[in-house]
Amino acid sequence: MKTRAALLIAILATSAWAKDRIWQDGSLLDTRSNKYFRSIETSSDADRAQSSRMFTDAQTVVTNTIYDRYVVESADAAYLVERGRFKSAKPSLLRPNLSIKFAIEKKKKIWLLDEEGRELETTILERFAKDAARPSVTASLPAR
């Protein structure tokens, strides 16, 4: 009886603390070939599955942490995001060039939904606004 009550309290507390996120539709792009950010080279592929090598960047540090990087494209911007995980943990179930659901939180975090519906917290490293004016090559040419 006490176990059921504790379990019920834990479930209610978890759902009460769960944050309502405003989910958006976007695309997960390949980090090595996208038009927004330079190609990101993978520095440690030894523990990676073939599919995750295509779109993540990893750096092994003394604490055995790996950083997976993703490029998320929305209607108005593109984001380079990073997610840390232990080297012993499996890579996220995210594949490049597919649609993805994401939620932006406080302009510093993006939550991604993986293929199994799990929410993955990432940190925004760079943001590229699609409406940003790009310098014109012809504007800098001397007049004739």
The pLDDT tens digits of the residues spanning 74-97 come to 999 999 999 999 989 888 888 888
How far apart CA 2 and CA 74 sit, in angstroms, is 47
Residue 125 lies in a domain: yes
For residue 24, the cross-strand partners are 102
Domain residues for the domain of 52 are 31-131
Domain count for the chain, please give it: 1
The pLDDT tens digits of the residues spanning 109-142 come to 999 999 899 999 999 999 999 876 555 545 555 5
How far apart CA 120 and CA 17 sit, in angstroms, is 16
Residue 109 lies in a domain: yes
If DSSP states are collapsed to H, E and C, what string results for 60-80? CCCCCEEEEEEEEECCCEEEE
Cα-only R_g, the chain: 19
pLDDT given for residue 65 in this prediction: 87
Residue 111 lies in a domain: yes
pTM above 0.75, yes or no: no
Share of the chain above pLDDT 90, in %: 35
The pair of structure tokens assigned to 135 is 């310098």
Residue 78 CA neighbour count, 13 Å, CB half: 18
Residue 22 lies in a domain: no
The pair of structure tokens assigned to 12 is 């209610």
Residue 140 lies in a domain: no
Residue 5 lies in a domain: no
Residues in the chain: 144
| Mean pLDDT computed over 14-38 | 80
Q: What is the mean pLDDT of the chain?
A: 75
Least confident range from 45-49, 59-63, 69-73, 112-116: namely 45-49
Range list of β-strands (E), the chain: 24-29, 65-73, 77-86, 98-105, 109-113, 119-129
Residue 138 lies in a domain: no
Residue 75 lies in a domain: yes
